[in-house]
Structures are given as structure tokens and as C-alpha cells.
């Protein structure tokens, strides 16, 4: 027996080139990724990465965690210098652990804004994570 908690990522953008590039990158990392949806309103389209389906702590689950972390790092690297991004995304967990937003692009934006403020106010006091965000 084991615990199954699902994680899925949904990615949306109004930039057709960027959403296709993100989909290609996701396809390089994950075994299956949905096609990009057609644009319906305001030029936005989306795709999603389904859960791996593995029990927590198993090799497949750990690999899924690593893949999600790699893809999220790639998406965050696409952000503008201010931390905002034309890629909007969410990593949502659901299942036996309950329901939770694990990560999202807005969270990255807020972290980047805090690091920019810290750099301006006290560059010597900037944390290692803050330096990574600004590099």
C-alpha cells in the first residue's frame, strides 16, 4: 500500500511562439504532454502535463517530481527581468494529501520582486536564493 497524490501542470499563454516552445520543452522532459489547445478567446492557448500516477516515494513518483522541477525551472527562466512572464502556469496537487497549489508563476514573480527590492535596499543582505533569482 502507498499514498497516491497527483500533480499536474497547466500552462497558458497568449504568445503562440512561446506556448509552442514551452510545449516542445515539456515534451522533451515528460513522457506525455497534451497538445496545445486552439486559441478561443483573446488569443490564449494552453496545454497540460498529467500526473505520473505513481505512489509517493516510488521511483516513478520521484522521477515525476524531478521532471516537474526541471520544467518549472525552465519556465521561470523565460520570465522577464521584473519576474513577470508571458507564460502563466500552475502546478496543482490533489489526491490523498488533499488539494493544493504547489507552485505557480505568480509566486515566482513575487519572489523576484522581493529580491529586486532587497537588492536595491541592502545588496549585501541579499540571500543566496535572491542572488539566483537575479542572475
Q: pLDDT tens-digit profile of 39-48? A: 988 999 999 9
For the whole prediction, is pTM greater than 0.95? no
Confidence grade of residue 1 (pLDDT, cut at 50, 70, 90): low
Which grid cell is 63?
A: 522521477
* Domains defined along the chain, listed by start: 5-103 (3.30.70)
The C-alpha cell 510545449 sits at: 23
Order of strands across the sheet that contains 5-13: 45-49, 5-13, 87-95, 98-104
Which grid cell is 122?
A: 541592502
Is the model's pLDDT at 131 over the cut of 70? no
Confidence grade of residue 29 (pLDDT, cut at 50, 70, 90): very high
- Name 114's Cβ contacts closer than 8 Å, sequence gap at least 6: 130
Amino acid at each position: 500500500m502507498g499514498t497516491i497524490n497527483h500533480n499536474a501542470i497547466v500552462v497558458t499563454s497568449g504568445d503562440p511562439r512561446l506556448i509552442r516552445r514551452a510545449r516542445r520543452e515539456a515534451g522533451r522532459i515528460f513522457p506525455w504532454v497534451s497538445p496545445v489547445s486552439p486559441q478561443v478567446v483573446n488569443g490564449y492557448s494552453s496545454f497540460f502535463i498529467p500526473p505520473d500516477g505513481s505512489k509517493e516515494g516510488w521511483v516513478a513518483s520521484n522521477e515525476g517530481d524531478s521532471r516537474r522541477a526541471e520544467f518549472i525551472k525552465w519556465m521561470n527562466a523565460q520570465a522577464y527581468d521584473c519576474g513577470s512572464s508571458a507564460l502563466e502556469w500552475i502546478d496543482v496537487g490533489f489526491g490523498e494529501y488533499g488539494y493544493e497549489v504547489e507552485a505557480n508563476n505568480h509566486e515566482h514573480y513575487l519572489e523576484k520582486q522581493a529580491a529586486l527590492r532587497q537588492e536595491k535596499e541592502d545588496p549585501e543582505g541579499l540571500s543566496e536564493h535572491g542572488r539566483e533569482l537575479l542572475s
